[in-house]
A and B are shown apart, each in its own frame.
Chain A
Amino acid sequence: MVDIRITPKPLDIKECIEWIMASECGGVDVFIGRVRSETLGSKVVQLEFEAYVQMALKELKVITNYVIETWKVENILVHHRIGILTVGEIPVIIAVSAAHRDAAFDACRYIIDTLKKTVPIWKKEIYEEGQVWVSAHP
C-alpha cells in the first residue's frame, strides 16, 4: 500500500509509525525531516512551504511507482507538510517497510533524495534579517 499526503496540518509521527508497522514486515525504515535552527550561519525564525499540490502528488506517485518496480518493498508512506513551520517542527515523514533492511533503507533514501529534486514543493527561509527562497538563485 502507498499513502501519499500533502497537508497543512502538523504531521503525526505516531500515526505514521502505526500505519507502517501494521504489516508484519522484517524491516521498517523511517526518515523524519525537521526544521533546522540555522542555515549557513543565519538564524532561521520560520519556514514557509508551498506546493503545486496536484503536480506534487503526481510526482510523488512517479517516485513510489519507481520504488515498487525497483525494490522489494511492502508499504510506502510519504507525508509532506505545507504552510508556516517553526524550528523543530516536521516538514516531511517517509516510511518504508520491506521483508529485508537493504530494500527499506535504499528505497527510503531514494524517496527523500528524489523528492528534493523533482517534486514541486518550495521552501522559503525566514530569518531575523530577511527571507530567501531556497535554491532559487545560483
Chain B
Amino acid sequence: MTIKVLGFGIVREIFGDQAIMAELPENARIADLRIYLEDGYPKLARLASYMIACDDNYAQPTDLINDRQEIAVIPPVSGG
C-alpha cells in the first residue's frame, strides 16, 4: 500500500517537502514504517528521538497502519 507521510519542523526539512509517499506491505506496523523512513532518510536516525502519529494520536511501534489514516512524523517538540 502507498501511504502519505507528513513531516514537521526538522523532519519537513529532511523530507525536503511537507509530505512524502511511502510504499509499505499490507499489515505493516509503525516499526516497519520507521525502518522504511530511516532507509530513505538516514538523518532521521540521528535525531534525539521521533514519534509517529496516526490520526492525531501518538502511535506505538506495534500499531498497524492503514492507508486511510493521516500519518505524521513528530520530531522532538519545543513549543512554549
Residue numbers of A with Cβ under 8 A of B are: 33, 49-52, 54-56, 58, 80, 91-92, 112, 115-124, 133-138
B9 cross-chain contacts in A, Cβ below 8 A: 50, 122, 124, 133, 136
- Per DSSP, chain A at the interface is mixed
Whether a CB of chain A sits under 8 angstroms from the CB of B64 is no
Docked CA distance A33–B80 (Å): 7
Docked CA distance A135–B77 (Å): 7
Docked CA distance A91–B76 (Å): 18
- A33-B80, A122-B78, A136-B48 are known contacts; what are 4 more A-B pairs with Cβ within 8 Å? A120-B72, A133-B13, A135-B77, A136-B75
CB pair A52 B6 closer than 8 Å: yes
CB pair A116 B79 closer than 8 Å: yes
Closest 3 pairs (CB-CB, A-B): A121-B79, A122-B9, A134-B78
Per-residue A-contact encoding for B10-21, CB less than 8 Å = 1, 0 else: 101100000000
Cβ-neighbour of B8 out of A52, A80, A137 (below 8 A): A52
B8 cross-chain contacts in A, Cβ below 8 A: 50-52, 120, 122
Cβ-neighbour of A135 out of B13, B46, B53, B78 (below 8 A): B78
Docked CA distance A113–B10 (Å): 22
